[in-house]
Amino acid sequence: MKRPTKDNWNADLYDGNHAFVSQYGESVMDLLAPKKGEKILDAGCGTGDLANQLHQRGAHVIGIDQSQNMIQQAQHKYPDITFEVQDMLTLAYHDTFDAVFSNATLHWIKQPRQALQSIYNSLHTGGRLVAELGGKGNVQLITDAIIQQIERMDIPYTQEQFPWYFPSIGEYTSLMEEVGFTVTFAHHFDRPTPLAGEDGLRNWIEMFAGSILAEQPDTLKEQLIQQVEQSLREVLYQDGQWVADYKRLRVIGVK
Ligand code: BEZ
């Protein structure tokens, strides 16, 4: 997410090159253990693949995302499910859901307390939040290499432009408790993530880190990506493919 007002999410590219995001999300769904008939919000549903799996398992699902492109694609793929463009910070639901499920989205939200409060408000008492997001140190080799090249190339950059929030387990569970959740599970772990093809790292940077370089001319972006590939090849290119240094944070909180 992050879902800037200008929608720069390309839903086709996302489905084509980054299907792994949903595939990994399937194990988060096991943690959710959805029951037939439960009312579940998929918060940050992207193009709807996991919402559809919840639907197949018999849950009543609503998928929300801040990107209109993603929601259009989700609705087109899964016409039987309700999808809505909504901001996680101001969810239009109160005391509505048995569970909120969120995969690979909450790290795009740089006002985490407000997002957690909004999710908490949307749940019934006894309802649960089951979420996975990037944890402290997530993709740090990649982001350090990008920032190092930005500095070398004298491209204007401030820390506020860093698009993500990757909290530690202590930081995030404390925020959850502050808004009212009882935290029943938290796990921070490494999940090296293969990026398909020789262009895997380049595709990842263009898809996810594009906003850092949005104002720069294509020639400069190209130069930067080549430098980043060169500097990371030794550490992140293994047995003929790029492997990103993902670190995940999984949490369950009960209202
Ligand atoms: C993540 O899922 O951890 C992630 C995805 C894209 C950009 C940054 C982090």
CA dihedral 80, 106, 207, 67 (to 10 degrees): 40
* Pocket lining: 104 vs ligand 1, CB cutoff 6 Å: yes
Q: Whose CA is nearest to atom 3 of ligand 1?
A: 134
CA of 83 relative to ligand 1 center, distance in Å:
22
Q: What pLDDT, on a 0 to 100 scale, did the predictor assign at position 254?
A: 98
Both tokens of 46, joined, read 């992207």
Atom 1 (ligand 1) nearest CA = 134
Residue 210: its pLDDT value, please? 83
From the CB of 78, is ligand 1 less than 6 Å away? Answer: no
CA of 142 to the centre of ligand 1 (A): 11
User: Which of 165, 127, 112, 115 has its CA nearest to residue 39?
Assistant: 127
Q: Which of 174, 105, 165 is nearest to 136 (CA)?
A: 165
Q: What is the pLDDT of residue 104?
A: 95
Predicted pLDDT of residue 151: 93
**What domains does the chain contain, in order, with CATH numbers?**
11-139+164-195+245-254 (3.40.50.150)
Judge if the beta carbon of residue 193 lies within 6 A of ligand 1.
no
Alpha carbon of 125 to ligand 1 centroid (Å):
31
pLDDT for the residue numbered 16: 67
Q: Which of 149, 134, 142 is nearest to 233 (CA)?
A: 142
The pLDDT assigned to 207 comes to 86
How many angstroms does the Cα of residue 36 sit away from the middle of ligand 1?
30
- Closest ligand 1 atom to 247 CA: 3
From the first residue on, what is the mean pLDDT of each consecutive set of 10 residues in the chain (255 residues)?
Answer: 53 69 83 97 96 97 96 97 97 97 96 98 98 98 96 91 96 98 98 94 90 87 95 95 97 98
